[in-house]
Structure 1
Amino acid sequence: MKKSIFILYVLYISLQPSLGQELAGSWKGELDVMGQKLPLVFNFQKEGGEWAGTMDSPNQGAKGIKLSKVLFEGILLNLEIAAGGISYEGILTSELIKGKFTQNGMNFPLDLQKLSVDAVDEVPKRPQTPIAPFDYDLEETTFENLSAGIKLEGTITKPRGDGPFPAVILISGSGPQDRNQEILGHKPFWVVADYLTSQGIVVFRYDERGVATSEGDFATATSIDFQKDAESALDHLSKFPFVDQTKIGVIGHSEGGMIAWEIGAGAISPNFLVALAAPVVPISDLMVKQTKDIARSSGLSKTFVDQQVSFNASFYELLKMSNSEAEAKSKLTGLIEESLANQELSDETKSQQKEALLKAYEPNISPWLINFLKTKPEIAISKINIPVFAAFGGKDLQVNAAENGNLLNSLFEEKSELLHLKVYPEMNHLFQTAKTGAVSEYSQIEESISEEVLRDIAAFILKR
C-alpha cells in the first residue's frame, strides 16, 4: 500500500512540472482564533536554488518575519519560524495551499490563496503621511545616552527662520518603534511632527534604542532605560540655538506618556508635557482591564474571557513579585500546574496543555514586562508641577479613558489649574476616529491621528 501511494505521488509530480514555479509569490490566508480573524501573508522566492520566504501579519503591524525553514517538494510545503514557535504544513494545488498552522502546540486550519501582483502591490491609503516639498526645515541628528554608552539618531523639524521656537520631543509607546512610530502603514509621529512644525513648533523624534539606526539592545531594556534615552534627547534638543529655552516640552503616547510622567516629576523637568493615552492606574490593573476589554471586543464567550482574565491576572501578579526572569519562569510552571490540577482532563491532555501554555507565556517574560508591571504612574504624577495636557480616547480598549481620566483628575485636585484633560468619545488608542476601538480596526482606518487632537496639542503648546 505504501509503495502504491509513493508511485501515485511521483506520478502526480511528474504531471505537474510547473507547480514549483507556482509557489513563488505571495499567498494569503485567514486564521480563525476563537472567533477573531487574523490575516497572514506568506511570501516565497528562490535564493541560490533554495526556497526562502517571509511572513506578514498585517493586523499586528508585523511585516517581513523571516521563515527559518522552507521545504517544498513538488506539492508538499513545510515551513517554520523557530523564534515564534510557528510551523505550517500544506499541500499545493493549482489554486490554493490547504494546510495546518501550528503555534506553541495549538493547531488551526489555514488555507492560502495566491495573491495577484496588483493585490501584493496594493498599499493601504494613509492620506496624512507627509509628502515633500515641506514648508519647514529637516535636520538629521545624533545624540548620546552617556550612562548607557549608546548613540541614537533622529530627525528635527523646525519652522523656517531663526526662532527661538517652542520645542518638543516625542516619546513612543510599547514595542520597538522607529522615529515615525510606524504601525500598520501609519506614521503617526511623522504626522504629528509635520502638523506641529507647520504651526511654529520644533519637533524632535528619534529611533528607539536598537531600532533602525539607533544603537543599543531593545530586548534587554526597561522603561527606566527608555526614560534615560528620552531625557538625553531632551537635553540634546535644548542645545539648539533656535529652541526657546523657556518652552521645551515632551509628548508621550501610551507607555511613552507614562515615561513623560516620570520626566515631568524629575528634578530637571520640562516646561510642559502632553500625555496621550497615558496610563494613570497601576500598570498591573491596567493590563487586566486591557485583557478583558480586548477579549470581549473579539466576540469571545464570557466563560472564556473570564478564564483568560483570571489566568492573566495571576500571571501579572507573579511577574510583579519576581526579581528575575528565572524566578518568574519557575513561578509560571507552578501557576500552570495549579490551574490544570482541578480540571477533568487526562494526564496526557494536561501535559500537552501545560507545554502549550508554557510556550505561549514564557516568551513574554522579560526585564521590561517585570519592571512595567511594578509601575504605579500615580506616584510620579503626584509630584508634577508643570502644565499638562492629557488626552484619552473614549473607545480606547488599551488604556480605559474613564478609569485613568478620573484618577488623573483626583491627583490634580489641588492643582487643577495645571491640568487640561480631554476625552475624545469616538477615538481609539491611536486617536483614530473609530467604530469599535478594536485593535483589528487600526489597519482598516485611513486616518493616522485625528486632526482635532493635533489642533488641541498645538493650541496647548502655543499658549505656554
Structure 2
Amino acid sequence: MGTASTGESETWTEEDVMFVSGPTELSGILTQPIEKSPHPAIVLLHGSERAGIDSTFYTEHSHNLVKSGHAVLRYDSPGVGRSTGSVIGESLEDRTREAISAVRYLQSREDIVSEAVGLWGHSQGGWICQMAAAEYDGVAFIIPVSGPGVTPAQQEVHRVEMQSRAAGFTEDEVAKAVLMRRLLVDIVLPEPMFKEANMDDARLIGSGPWGNVIEWLYHEKLEPESQFAKSIETLVAIKDESWARFLFAEQILQMFEGLSPETWGNVKASLGAVMTVDPENFLTKVKVPVLAIFGEADAYLPVAKSVDLYRRYLGEAGNEEVAIRIFSDADHAILVDGDPASGYYDTIVEWLSRLALS
C-alpha cells in the first residue's frame, strides 16, 4: 500500500507502510539496506505486550538486523498507533494469520525477494513463528527468541514458581502461588489440566482460598456464567496476599470489569484455547531454517526443557538446519544488566547473512 520516507542513516532507509490482515489495517515501518534492492526480509513479531513501531526494543532490532542485508518490518499491533482493530480477545491463531499477512505483504513488493521472507518473534511471538511456519510454506526461516517449547499453561506455572523463588518467598509461599496459578489455568480450560496435582497440593498446604475453588471447579462443576462471580471472589480474596504478587490478580480483575457473566463463556473459551497451544503440533512440521535463542537466566520459561523439546520436535520434522544459542546470564529479553547480551545481535546478523548467501 502507500509508502513515504520516514528516516535514513548511512546504512539504511525507512518508510511508512500499511498492510491488511482480514478486516484490520496495520501500520508499520520498513527498514531497508541502502544497497540496491531486492532484499531478503524479516518480520518482527511482538510478545504478548503487543507493542508498536515506536518501541525502543523493536526499533533497535530493526536497526541492527538490517546490517545482515535484510529489510526489516516492524508494525503497530491492532489498536496501537495508526493500526485499526483491537487485540482484545485475539487468539494465537489470529496472531498467526496476522504474521502470514505481513509475510505476504512483503512478498508482494518488487524490492523484496519473495522467497526469502522470514519471521523473528520474541516470547509469545516465538510461538507465532512456529505456528506460521507450520501453516504457510512461504515463510523462509524463523528466529524464535525466548519462544517456549512448552504450552502457555506450563510456561505460566513455571514463571510464577521461578519469580516467586527469585523474590525470596518461602517454600510454603511458593507452593501456594503455584497451586493458585494452576487453578487459574484450569478455570479457563474445558477439561482441567492440573486437577490431581492441585488436589494433592491443597491437602498438603491446608486450608486457604484454593479450597473453595477446588470445590466449585472440580466437584460442583459450575457453568461458565456461575464461574464468573466465583472467579472474581477468588481474585479479590488473594489480591493482597504477599505470596500472590506474581499472579497479577489486580490486572485480571480489571479484565473482568469489562466482561459480564453472559460474555465470560466466550472469553473463557478463547483463553483456554491460548493456554493449550502445544509447540509439538507445529515444530514437528517446520522444515525451514531455525535459529532459536534463549537466555540462561530467563525466569519466564523452562529453558533447558524448551531446548530439548525444540531439538526433539524439529528432529521429528527431519529439519537439519537448526541452530540453538543460549546466552549466559541473559534474561527473557536476552538482556544482561539491562543491555543486550554480548554477541546477541552479531549472532543473528551472521546467521541471516549466511542464510542469504546460501
TM normalised by structure 2 equals 0.76
Q: How does 1:294-443 map to 2 (within 5 A)?
A: 294-321=163-190, 337-338=212-213, 355-357=236-238, 360=250, 361-363=252-254, 366=267, 369-414=271-316, 415=318, 417-434=320-337
Q: How does 1:168-183 map to 2 (within 5 A)?
A: 168-180=42-54, 182=55
- Deviation, 1:134, is 4.8
Q: 1:249 and 1:155 mapped to 2: Cα distance?
A: 16
Q: 2:233 and 2:91 mapped to 1: Cα distance?
A: 33
Tell me: CA distance 1:255–1:163, structure 2 relative to 1, closer, same or farther (3 Å): same
Which residue identity does 1:248 align to in structure 2? V
CA contact (8 A) 1:168 1:203 kept: yes
Tell me: CA distance 1:335–1:269, structure 2 relative to 1, closer, same or farther (3 Å): farther
CA contact (8 A) 1:168 1:204 kept: yes
Tell me: CA distance 1:172–1:354, structure 2 relative to 1, closer, same or farther (3 Å): closer
Decide which structure has greater helix share.
2
| Candidates 224, 236, 242, aligned match of 2:105 | 236
Q: 1:290 and 1:374 mapped to 2: Cα distance?
A: 16
Percent sequence identity is 20
Q: 1:162 and 1:234 mapped to 2: Cα distance?
A: 21
Tell me: CA distance 1:364–1:312, structure 2 relative to 1, closer, same or farther (3 Å): farther
Q: 2:184 and 2:166 mapped to 1: Cα distance?
A: 22
Which of the pair has more CA radius of gyration?
A: 1
Higher RCO, Cα 8 Å, sep 6+: 2
Q: 1:210 and 1:310 mapped to 2: Cα distance?
A: 35
Match of 2:75 in 1: 206
- Deviation, 1:285, is 1.3
Q: 2:181 and 2:301 mapped to 1: Cα distance?
A: 17
Q: How does 1:123-202 map to 2 (within 5 A)?
A: 133-146=9-22, 149-180=23-54, 182=55, 187-202=56-71
Q: How does 1:102-117 map to 2 (within 5 A)?
A: none
CA contact (8 A) 2:115 2:138 kept: no
CA contact (8 A) 1:282 1:378 kept: no
Tell me: CA distance 1:204–1:373, structure 2 relative to 1, closer, same or farther (3 Å): same
3-state SS, counterpart of residue 279 of structure 1: coil
CA contact (8 A) 2:145 2:293 kept: yes
Match of 1:463 in 2: 354
Which residue identity does 2:50 align to in structure 1? P
Q: 2:188 and 2:138 mapped to 1: Cα distance?
A: 31
Decide which structure has greater strand share.
1
Structure 2's unaligned 5+ residue stretches are 1-6, 193-208, 217-231, 240-248, 257-266
Q: 1:289 and 1:322 mapped to 2: Cα distance?
A: 20
- Deviation, 1:141, is 0.4
Q: CA RMSD in A?
A: 2.6
User: What's the CA shift string for 1:397-419, capped at 9, x where partnerless?
Assistant: 01221010111111123535221
Tell me: CA distance 1:188–1:450, structure 2 relative to 1, closer, same or farther (3 Å): farther
User: What's the CA shift string for 1:111-159, capped at 9, x where partnerless?
Assistant: xxxxxxxxxxxxxxxxxxxx9745311010011113xx11010000001
- Deviation, 1:356, is 3.0
Q: 2:88 and 2:296 mapped to 1: Cα distance?
A: 32
Tell me: CA distance 1:140–1:268, structure 2 relative to 1, closer, same or farther (3 Å): same
Q: 2:61 and 2:121 mapped to 1: Cα distance?
A: 12
CA contact (8 A) 1:322 1:370 kept: no
Which residue identity does 2:352 align to in structure 1? I
CA contact (8 A) 1:284 1:317 kept: no
CA contact (8 A) 1:158 1:197 kept: yes
Q: 1:267 and 1:382 mapped to 2: Cα distance?
A: 14
Q: 1:235 and 1:214 mapped to 2: Cα distance?
A: 18
Match of 2:345 in 1: 454
Which residue identity does 2:237 align to in structure 1? A
- Deviation, 1:362, is 4.4
CA contact (8 A) 1:288 1:312 kept: yes
CA contact (8 A) 2:27 2:82 kept: yes
Which residue identity does 2:347 align to in structure 1? D
